[in-house]
Structure 1
Amino acid sequence: MLHKNSFLCAALTTAFLGAAAVPAQAAVVASIKPLGFIAAAIADGVTPTEVLLPDGASEHDYALRPSDVKRLQSADLVVWVGPEMEAFMQKSVSQLAEQKQVQLAALPGVKPLLMKGDDDDDHGHEGHDHSAENSDEDHHHGEYNMHIWLSPEVARLSAVAIHDKLVELMPQNRAKLDANLQTFELGLANIDKQVGSVLAPLKGKGYFVFHDAYGYFEKHYGLTPLGHFTVNPEIQPGAQRLHDIRTQLVEQKAVCVFAEPQFRPAVINAVARGTNVRSGTLDPLGIEVKLGKDSYMQFLNGLANQYASCLKGE
């Protein structure tokens, strides 16, 4: 009897030790929410997906907390754009094994699709404190535009890369991961057609955005932005700056000027006041979208509707 109990204790101890060896919080960790949308579709039913940046935080100047570093270290897989976008992650991700990370901008299929970044000197984040070690002041001054999650084509390639890495890490889940990828690709093809139909009548309607984040989306769907402005949400622009913006809006016959959720309405109203230009809001990070297997499709659809509602005047 004693021998049997000893055996049972040893078996239980081994089981507990085995369980302890696996991090309890292992998951796919995406740097920003839209990457989480893609990852959640592929990892659905296999492993949870978490997003590193909280809603409202800026990928431009976020600083990792100790708890963030632990999440990265214990993750099954880390998904990010790359150091030109999330400079704050570079040190932590460089310490991870190659098979436990996906750097999307570096994927062979994505590299040829990268669009040149904006290189005008006015496109900095004026007023931000760049003394912090983790600041990303060159976010827009790199060679390429890194808002690649706004390209449906890049999203598909990202999904394939996430799928391949997870199959490598969890071969026992291959059937589920294969099915998830197929579902994502079908869903993406369907929403791509729908969004194309919504936006097709709006081609040629001019508008301004505050942030040049949307190039991939605009190119894919044939939209025609007239320009963008850098307006720091923390600082009210001066009278001369507002006058210059208004002049451009009128001269270029803009239909709409788009803000983002973090910009104060007062800034937008000041820009559009005295013109016939409508104001709208674009959300490049999908703040209102809940993480789930269909969330990337909801994100694209939401963005299309944000464009359409302002450009149509609804």
Structure 2
Amino acid sequence: MLHIKQRFAFTLPAAALAAACAMPAHSAVVASIKPIGFIAAAIADGVTPVEVLLPDGASEHDYALRPSDVKRIKNADLVVWVGPEMEAFLTKSAAELPEAKNLEIAAMPGVKPLLIRGGEDEDEHEHGHDHDHDSDKSEDQEPSHTHHHHGEFNMHLWMSPEIARQSAVAIHGKLLELMPQSRAKLDANLQQFEAELADADKHIGAQLAPVKSKGYFVFHDAYSYFEKHYGLSPAGHFTVNPEIQPGAQRLHQIRTQLVEQKAVCVFAEPQFRPAVIDAVSRGTSVRKGTLDPLGMGISLTKDSYVKFLSQLSSQYASCLNGA
């Protein structure tokens, strides 16, 4: 009898230990990049943890999944990403997930009508009509695979407050299916997110209103949704893909516009501070600022997306105002 009790005593903790070890692997929302993680963190707060695949300082344009990343994706409650045109590194792993655990934001029916066409062509026709010949050369000089990552549309969807709101609603819906017992908390989180986002949207609109007509250049074509939403006046961008330096014709074109004072600011990014920005602005009165499209310094909390938008707004306003 004693022998049986001893066996039982040893077996139970082993089983419990195995269960405990297995649990954490199945208890997270995995977001592709940090700003998507910000939105997910607002909805999942107090329900399930949120993890981000892309480390700070890495680029979504050329990231390669590690074996540990693949494991996290397989074990996730839910994987949230923009889509294959933005995070090519996720396409294969996401395709293997059941539909209930895979949220591709670009494929959402409510998002499709909001997509903005991307790439050089639209920008050149809109802002570079005085330099058609130059811009054609610039297009040729930048390798065609600059479009490979973005395709037909600009995929920096997290820059749109409206797409962020729709993403939050979709994350709420997916988590509700997976965790119906957490309905009260998930509902409260979504309600709070929408209220705070609406409030931040009003404040940002007021902050940016005085600088709406001021021209500027951004380093890479990441801000179209934010700019369109708040009615800003971008004069153009240096490059579509930040991994690829702009060609000589493009730099000449930007330099000409800076000399003619068609822009008051040139924005770099925390992970991209290319010498071309200094070179092209040298000897002009243009100011230099920094825009952070991935919220690198912001930690994942329930209000981090609102912080991200507000930080971006302040980065625009301080340079465009000359503060």
Q: How does 1:23-34 map to 2 (within 5 A)?
A: 23-24=24-25, 26-34=27-35
Shift of the 175–310 alpha-carbon distance from structure 1 to 2, 3 Å rule, reads same
Q: How does 1:209-220 map to 2 (within 5 A)?
A: 209-220=218-229
Q: How does 1:257-296 map to 2 (within 5 A)?
A: 257-264=266-273, 266-296=275-305
* CA shift for structure 1 position 227: 1.2
Query: What is the one-letter code of the residue matched to 1:178?
Result: D
1:62 corresponds to: 63
Aligned-partner Cα distance in 2 for 1:311–1:301: 15
Aligned-partner Cα distance in 2 for 1:88–1:248: 37
Provide, for residues 26-71 of structure 1, a one-character-per-residue CA deviation record: whole Å limited to 9, x for no partner.
3111000000000011111111111000011111111111111111
Q: How does 1:197-208 map to 2 (within 5 A)?
A: 197-208=206-217
* CA shift for structure 1 position 277: 1.0
* CA shift for structure 1 position 213: 0.9
Query: What is the one-letter code of the residue matched to 1:101?
Result: N
Flag structure 2 segments of 5+ consecutive residues without an equivalent. 122-135
SS in 1 for 2:222: coil
1:133 corresponds to: none
Shift of the 139–125 alpha-carbon distance from structure 1 to 2, 3 Å rule, reads farther
Q: Cα RMSD over matched residues?
A: 2.6
SS in 2 for 1:261: coil
Provide, for residues 214-240 of structure 1, a one-character-per-residue CA deviation record: whole Å limited to 9, x for no partner.
111011111111111118767776766
Correspondence 1:153 to 2:162: yes
SS in 2 for 1:229: strand
Provide, for residues 171-210 of structure 1, a one-character-per-residue CA deviation record: whole Å limited to 9, x for no partner.
1111111111111111101111111110011111111112
2:42 corresponds to: 41
SS in 2 for 1:210: strand
Shift of the 232–188 alpha-carbon distance from structure 1 to 2, 3 Å rule, reads closer
1:223 corresponds to: 232
Shift of the 91–137 alpha-carbon distance from structure 1 to 2, 3 Å rule, reads farther
Of residues 245-254 and 217-226 in structure 1, the stretch that sits farther from structure 2 once superposed is: 245-254
Aligned-partner Cα distance in 2 for 1:124–1:181: 46
* CA shift for structure 1 position 107: 0.8
Correspondence 1:103 to 2:104: yes
1:248 corresponds to: 257
Q: How does 1:14-29 map to 2 (within 5 A)?
A: 15-16=16-17, 18-19=19-20, 22-24=23-25, 26-29=27-30
Of residues 202-211 and 228-237 in structure 1, the stretch that sits farther from structure 2 once superposed is: 228-237
**Greater helix share, 1 or 2?**
2
Identity %: 72
Shift of the 284–77 alpha-carbon distance from structure 1 to 2, 3 Å rule, reads same
Aligned-partner Cα distance in 1 for 2:32–2:62: 13
Shift of the 124–23 alpha-carbon distance from structure 1 to 2, 3 Å rule, reads farther
Shift of the 125–90 alpha-carbon distance from structure 1 to 2, 3 Å rule, reads farther
1:73 corresponds to: 74
* CA shift for structure 1 position 92: 0.5
Q: Under a length normalisation based on structure 2, what TM-score does the superposition of the two structures give?
A: 0.86
Correspondence 1:170 to 2:171: no
Of residues 113-122 and 238-247 in structure 1, the stretch that sits farther from structure 2 once superposed is: 238-247
* CA shift for structure 1 position 22: 3.7
Tell me, yes or no, if the aligned pair for 2:30 and 2:72 is still in contact at 8 Å.
Answer: yes
Aligned-partner Cα distance in 2 for 1:283–1:259: 9
Q: How does 1:119-130 map to 2 (within 5 A)?
A: 119-120=120-121, 122=138
Query: What is the one-letter code of the residue matched to 1:256?
Result: C
